[in-house]
Amino acid sequence: MSNKPLPERLRPTNLQEFIGQKQLVGKNAVLRKMVEAGNIQSFILWGPPGVGKTTLSKIIANKLDRAFYSLSAVSSGVKDVRAIIDKAKKIQLFQKPNPILFIDEIHRFSKSQQDSLLGAVERGLITLIGATTENPSFEVISPLLSRCQVYVLEHLNKEDLNDLLTRALTVDKQLKERQIDVQEKNALFLHSGGDARKLLNILEIITNSETDENLIINNELVNRILQKNTVIYDKKGELHYDIVSAFIKSIRGSDPDATVYWLARMLEGGEDIKFIARRMIIAASEDIGLANPNALLLANNCFDAIKNIGMPEARIILSQTAIYLACSQKSNSAYLAIDEALSFVKKTGNLPIPLHLRNSPTKLMKQLGYGKGYKYPHSYQNNFVTQEYLPEEASGTRFYTPQNNNSEKAIEKRLKNNKKMK
């Protein structure tokens, strides 16, 4: 009997055995065609755990008959990278193809570590294959990213998981020795969460736990052995950001049911409740804004309240606030206004501040005309008086446009009245 775990025993050695990622390695898919042509460039595989990033890299190196070096960003540093680059230089002297350097969790490499790779990639000393669970556009330095194609890997779907399960039961020598009847698969697939490694680990746990020669696997058995229906949620991984994104977009889309669902996903996954509350404060300004200024007050109060209360009761406060935000009228006018103004400032630079708006705390400043001619609005009817508040070159530029909601209709009416007075 082999001591190797099932995922290692079943690790594919060629593209024919590889399951999933048909968009990359299926018939006529881009990565498969590149490998079959025997000419690959440096690339980064971005996807969740257990979907084949490491396996695919080894298959490619084997298919192309290239030297293969592997580093983990968790335990390796600049010294290790330079040692492999030195080996690559020696290989080049013998007119052999450049080796493949696989770096797992490349997002954990610091800037200096990534910089140490750059020259070797540029000169073609190595072909870099990076693997990451994080968005490489945030974690990989731009010069290195610009020299690498990024390929996105996805969770395995039910069809892929079924193929993997069938392969395990029909190919693995240890499992073939037993009579295993999988009558129900839903629990197996649910617990695996689209992770091939996790599915095989679960299958091995079950077969090791149940010693009967004739083993019947059903949902009840899987749930009993695994004890808890664990929600797949990595607080530091890509799924973390995807679920938060879905939560915010559901608020923005005024769908309270979807909003509460994604909130529940985060809570069940153990997300930091302060993180959720902070995101709602941002949404209250970015997506609701002036359509309902009370939304920001409620979101801010929610943040204070959940810090004082804690879980599990904090879930009720988060739910109340999330539903309120989802059901509120929406406006992104404040968000658009500040971005428009920032863009204008970047284009025009530091335009002179009109003299009448300048501060004049000293006698010299007053002599230079600072503050001269400024009209105090509260001294006039309706607390408004006509005067220029923008630099001369920006006069008449509009950054804020009221949107079509009850609150901003009143604002627009007031602004129009002021304009008439001008």
Q: Where are the domains of the chain?
A: 21-152, 158-226, 238-327, 350-421
3-state secondary structure of 12: coil
User: Looking at the domain that runs over 21-152, which CATH code has it been given?
Assistant: 3.40.50.300
Topology of the domain comprising 238-327: Zinc Finger, Delta Prime; domain 3 (1.20.272)
Q: How far apart are CA 135 and CA 241, in angstroms?
A: 10
Per the CB < 8 A criterion, the answer to whether 26 and 160 are in contact is: no
Per the CB < 8 A criterion, the answer to whether 323 and 259 are in contact is: yes
Q: Please give the structure tokens belonging to residue 271.
A: 């997300």
The backbone region for 168, taken as left when phi is positive above 0, alpha when psi lies in -120 to 50, beta otherwise, is alpha
Pick from 240, 265, 268: which is nearest to 49 by CA? Answer: 240
The DSSP letter of residue 351 is P
Return the pLDDT at 422. 60
Count Cβ neighbours within 10 Å for each residue of 362-371 and write b for 16 or more, e otherwise. Answer: eeeeeeeebe
Report the sign of the C-alpha dihedral through residues 373, 377, 380, 386, in that order: positive
- The per-type count for the chain, helices as H runs and strands as E runs, is 21, 7
Report the amino acid identity of residue 393: E
pTM for the whole structure: 0.60
Per the CB < 8 A criterion, the answer to whether 243 and 265 are in contact is: yes
Q: Which helix (H) or strand (E) holds 178?
A: none
Query: What are 68's strand-pairing partners?
Result: 100
The 10s digit of each residue's pLDDT in 374-392 is 999 999 888 888 999 999 9
Q: How far apart are CA 203 and CA 194, in angstroms?
A: 14
Phi/psi at 414 (5° precision): -65, -40
Pick from 348, 337, 418, 353: which is nearest to 392 by CA? Answer: 353
Residue with tokens 């070797």: 120
Topology of the domain comprising 350-421: post-AAA+ oligomerization domain-like (1.10.3710)
The 10s digit of each residue's pLDDT in 1-29 is 567 899 999 999 999 999 999 999 998 89
Q: Please give the structure tokens belonging to residue 401.
A: 């446009």
Report the amino acid identity of residue 184: E
Per the CB < 8 A criterion, the answer to whether 200 and 53 are in contact is: no
Give me the residues of the chain with pLDDT under 70, please: 1-2, 228-240, 421-422
User: Looking at the domain that runs over 158-226, which CATH code has it been given?
Assistant: 1.10.8.60
Count Cβ neighbours within 10 Å for each residue of 104-121 and write b for 16 or more, e otherwise. Answer: bbbbbbeeebbebbeebb
Q: How far apart are CA 400 and CA 336, in angstroms?
A: 7
3-state secondary structure of 130: strand
Return the pLDDT at 249. 94
Phi/psi at 65 (5° precision): 55, 50
Within 10 angstroms of residue 211's Cβ, the number of other Cβ atoms is: 8
Per the CB < 8 A criterion, the answer to whether 249 and 326 are in contact is: no
Per the CB < 8 A criterion, the answer to whether 401 and 333 are in contact is: yes
Residue with tokens 């994604």: 262
Q: Please give the structure tokens belonging to residue 235.
A: 């607080």
Q: How far apart are CA 421 and CA 81, in angstroms?
A: 70
Pick from 364, 390, 363, 387: which is nearest to 377 by CA? Answer: 387
Pick from 410, 412, 251: which is nearest to 330 by CA? Answer: 251
